[in-house]
Structures are given as structure tokens and as C-alpha cells.
Chain A
Amino acid sequence: EVQLVQSGAEVKKPGESLKISCKGSGYSFTSYWIGWVRQMPGKGLEWMGIIYPGDSDTRYSPSFQGQVTISADKSISTAYLQWSSLKASDTAMYYCARRRIAAAATYYFDYWGQGTLVTVSS
């Protein structure tokens, strides 16, 4: 059974750093891209970026480039999303999801983590 299990909720202060994780199991972790998606309170889904754990090739949405860092450790089948200096506006639910390719080179996300709630407040 394919599973993506994310780390638990975090409460941080502005300016602090944070690294959240997404552990894959039940499939070849190095063979599929893993994306990160933000959902701010009461809002929609926003794509942040994506990584290929096989070689750590990473791409970012222009909206998030320079704001976060995506990485992966294939030895433990885990992808990461990290911030060096959190802001209150980073308060959101963050999801990881496995990306697949369908006909006509279409992308879709077939399995999602349960989400990690990040709260940034002084």
C-alpha cells in the first residue's frame, strides 16, 4: 500500500527555522516526483515545488522560489520542506503528494500525505 506520512504539527515563532518531512512507503521512492502544496487557512491549494528523489532534481514555483527549500534523503525515503526564517504568513497546512504522468504528458497527484499544520505566531 502506497503511503505518504508527514511529520506532526508545528508551532513556531517568527524568524525561527523549520524542516517538515514526508516519508514514502509501499513503492519505489526514487522513481516518482514528490510535490509540496500549501493551503492557507480557508483558502485553496497552491503548488510550491517538486523534487525527484532519485537524483534530487528540484523545481520551484516562482511564487516560492527563494522562500523555501525542498530536499530529499532517498536512503530513508523521505522528502523535506524547510524554512530558514518563518513569517506569520507561512501559517498554513502543507501537503506532500506523489506526482504521476498520464496521457498527453499530463501531471496529476495520486497519493497525498495527511498534511502538516504549521502555525507561526509570536
Chain B
Amino acid sequence: SSELTQDPAVSVALGQTVRITCQGDSLRSYYASWYQQKPGQAPVLVIYGKNNRPSGIPDRFSGSSSGNTASLTITGAQAEDEADYYCNSRDSSGNHGVVFGGGTKLTVL
């Protein structure tokens, strides 16, 4: 089965740019999607596909991919961006499976 690896925690100064990464073999074949989860709330999709934002997601969120690594970049981080971020990818083993990364706790200083 596939695995996706994320750094457990990342911090960024208010207004600065931060990149959150996700590594895994399945990312060589499939794009990652990214989800923001704030305490006590359900996850919210922020990036999907090559670099698509759902309606309502600020354009400071962007996604990219290279080889086995997908990245979520927040350009000009805001206090409200402090949250857990999870990457997700289709499982290369098939059966409609997906796999989530372990999550990255983003702290905005």
C-alpha cells in the first residue's frame, strides 16, 4: 500500500510564505489534494488536481508537484491559516483506494 509523509509541524511568521510538503510514491502518478482542518471542525478542501482552488479558498493557497513530492504553498500567511493540513492521493494499488498523509500542524507566529 502507499504512504504519504508530511512534516509534523511547521511555523511561519505572519505575512510570510510557507511551504508544506508531502512525499510518496503515488505522487509520481497522481496529484495530491490538500485539506485544512481547524480544531473541532471537519476538513476543508483547499487544493486539488494540478493546482485548483475550490470556490471561496483564498488565492494565497497554491499547489505544486515534482517527482514524488507535492507541496502546498501559502503566500502571505494569515492568522486564520493556523490549522492542520493533510495531503491526500489516490492509492497506486487501485481499488478506488486513497491515502492520507499524517498531517502538518501549521503555526502562524
Contact = CB atoms under 8 A, between A and B. Distances in A.
- Interface residue range, chain A: 20 to 34
Given A33-B96, A103-B31, A109 B101 contact: no
B97 A61 contact: yes
SS of A interface (majority):
strand
Interface residues of B, number: 30
A112 B1 contact: no
B42 A44 contact: no
B48 A108 contact: yes
A47 B98 contact: yes
Contacts of B42: 95, 112-115
Contacts of B50: 102-104
Interface of B: 1, 29-33, 35, 37, 42-45, 48-50, 52, 54, 86, 88-90, 95-103
Interface of A: 33, 35, 37, 44-47, 50, 59, 61-62, 95, 97, 99-100, 102-110, 112-115
